[in-house]
Chains A and B, each alone.
Chain A
Amino acid sequence: DTGVSQDPRHKITKRGQNVTFRCDPISEHNRLYWYRQTLGQGPEFLTYFQNEAQLEKSRLLSDRFSAERPKGSFSTLEIQRTEQGDSAMYLCASTGYQETQYFGPGTRLLVL
């Protein structure tokens, strides 16, 4: 068990560019979650997968955001046409057949 990993840890991009983040959950964890955290706030739910199926999406997830988990293992979160308001920490978490979510270190995005 190596924990949840995320890549990259930091990303700086210019407004209008596309970015993609990767999350590798704890092996054998079937559920994977994406959250967004802005300064001074708690994490806000974005979307959730059970195996490869995306079961729930927040209203926060605009059409510019898309997430995939094609083989039920790692997941990617893509933001198209980034805006300055997208600057935040993007957190990934995973859980197995129990209720505790284990979080990765996050990807900090800065949109200039």
Chain B
Amino acid sequence: AQSVTQLGSHVSVSEGALVLLRCNYSSSVPPYLFWYVQYPNQGLQLLLKYTSAATLVKGINGFEAEFKKSETSFHLTKPSAHMSDAAEYFCAVSENTGNQFYFGTGTSLTVIP
């Protein structure tokens, strides 16, 4: 069985500060891992994905995530938060076969000016 846990349903950072959104996964097979961002009343937009290549993955808008198998983690970071980063962020895991995704409950990021 696969699952995702996102620690912290709400995270607030100051503009220019480091963003760290946590994601831990459970998977019985080597996982594919994803981070998506969702703005109000919109669908999900892919930020980045891990597919068993490089463990440090760079995505759009300056975000990156590191796959740590020993910690079963895939935390999302950005060195300097921007006001436009305020949104809901979802971590997701899927099997190699790329069937259904299992999403976490999301982390709402607030950026304080």
Contacts and interface: CB of A to CB of B under 8 A. Distances in A.
Interface stretch (A14-22, A62-70, A76-84, A99-107): A99-107
Nearest to A31: B98
A41 interface: yes
B105 A106 contact: no
B42 A105 contact: yes
Contacts of B90: 42-43
Contacts of B9: 40
B101 A106 contact: no
B42 A48 contact: no
A41 B100 CA distance: 17
Interface in A46-64: 48, 55-56, 58
Given A99-B94, A103-B43, A42 B103 contact: yes
B17 interface: no
Nearest to A50: B99
Nearest to A33: B100
Interface residues of A, number: 28
Given A43-B90, A45-B100, A99 B32 contact: yes
A41 B106 contact: yes
A42 B106 contact: yes
Nearest to A102: B46
Contact of A100 (B34, B41, B99): B34
A102 B36 CA distance: 10
A95 interface: yes
Contacts of A55: 99
Contacts of A106: 41-43
Contacts of A91: 43-44
Contacts of A28: none
The winner among A31, A33, A42, A105 for most chain B CB atoms within 10 A is A42
Contacts of B98: 31, 95, 98-99
Interface of B: 4, 9, 32, 34, 36, 41-46, 49, 51, 90, 92, 94, 96, 98-106
Task: State the 9 A-B residue pairs at the shortest beta-carbon distance, nearest first.
Answer: A42-B103, A99-B98, A103-B43, A45-B100, A103-B44, A105-B43, A99-B32, A106-B43, A43-B103
